[in-house]
């Protein structure tokens, strides 16, 4: 089942769709962004995690998703897409941007450099994948206690 919604924030059209596969209970939600809309991103992630009844730390996912979107706008150029996928027991965050330049952790200081360290510390794992028109930076979250049937 797929549901498409059109959202507008400050006159900027945004695209949001939700896909649910009832057989595996895997869900996907996407948000297309035309600018750095951190408040919208945080609300979207919070609402999505609540709807999925994600059992992990919601605010960790919210913070990391917001950081990845901000990095995409600062360093990635072009159209940006935030995608969440997962179940109540695992969430994957993906942010697409228009540059092929790999993300890199740099020395933190007053001019920044904290973002990817935050991603690394709060997520179970992270990385990037080249894409047709840029790259996708992703990370995954898994709560500490996962029931055996959720791992299968």
**Residue 129 forms part of a structural domain:** yes
The answer to whether 137 and 128 are in contact (CB under 8 A) is yes
**Residue 68 forms part of a structural domain:** yes
Q: How many domains does the chain have?
A: 1
User: CATH code at 30?
Assistant: 3.30.565.10
The answer to whether 1 and 11 are in contact (CB under 8 A) is no
Q: Quick check: helix, strand or coil at residue 23?
A: coil
User: CA torsion 94→32→84→138, rounded to 10°?
Assistant: 0
**Residue 54 forms part of a structural domain:** yes
pLDDT of residue 15: 46
**Residue 152 forms part of a structural domain:** no
pLDDT of residue 10: 39
In this structure, the number of other CB atoms found within 10 A of the CB of residue 124 comes to 14
Q: What is the domain range of residue 120?
A: 2-147
**How many CA within 13 A on the CB side of residue 105?**
9
**Residue 79 forms part of a structural domain:** yes
**Residue 107 forms part of a structural domain:** yes
Q: Could you tell me the mean pLDDT of each successive run of 10 residues in the chain, 152 residues long?
A: 38 45 73 82 96 94 94 82 94 94 77 80 94 94 68 54
Q: What is the pTM of this model?
A: 0.78
| Helix (H), strand (E) at residue 144 | none
pLDDT of residue 21: 45
Q: What are phi and psi of 44, to 5 degrees?
A: -60, -45
pLDDT of residue 13: 42
pLDDT of residue 23: 44
Cα separation of 45 and 77, whole Å? 22
| Helix (H), strand (E) at residue 113 | none
pLDDT of residue 60: 96
**Residue 91 forms part of a structural domain:** yes
Cα separation of 147 and 20, whole Å? 21
Alpha-carbon separation of residue 72 from 11, 38, 50, 110 (angstroms): 21, 12, 25, 20
**Residue 105 forms part of a structural domain:** yes
């Amino acid at each position: 089942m797929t549901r498409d919604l059109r959202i507008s924030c400050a006159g900027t059209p945004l695209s949001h769709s939700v896909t649910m596969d009832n057989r595996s209970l895997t869900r996907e939600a996407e948000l297309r962004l035309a600018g750095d809309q951190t408040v919208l991103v945080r609300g979207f992630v919070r609402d999505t995690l609540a709807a999925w009844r994600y059992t992990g730390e919601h605010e960790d996912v919210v913070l990391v998703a917001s950081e990845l979107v901000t990095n995409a706008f600062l360093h990635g150029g072009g159209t940006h897409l935030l995608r969440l996928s997962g179940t109540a027991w695992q969430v994957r965050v993906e942010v697409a941007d228009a540059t092929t330049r790999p993300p890199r952790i740099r020395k933190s200081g007053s001019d920044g450099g904290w973002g990817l360290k935050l991603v690394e510390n709060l997520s179970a794992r992270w990385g990037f994948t080249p894409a047709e028109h840029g790259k996708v930076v992703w990370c995954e979250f898994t709560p500490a206690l996962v029931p055996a049937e959720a791992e299968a």
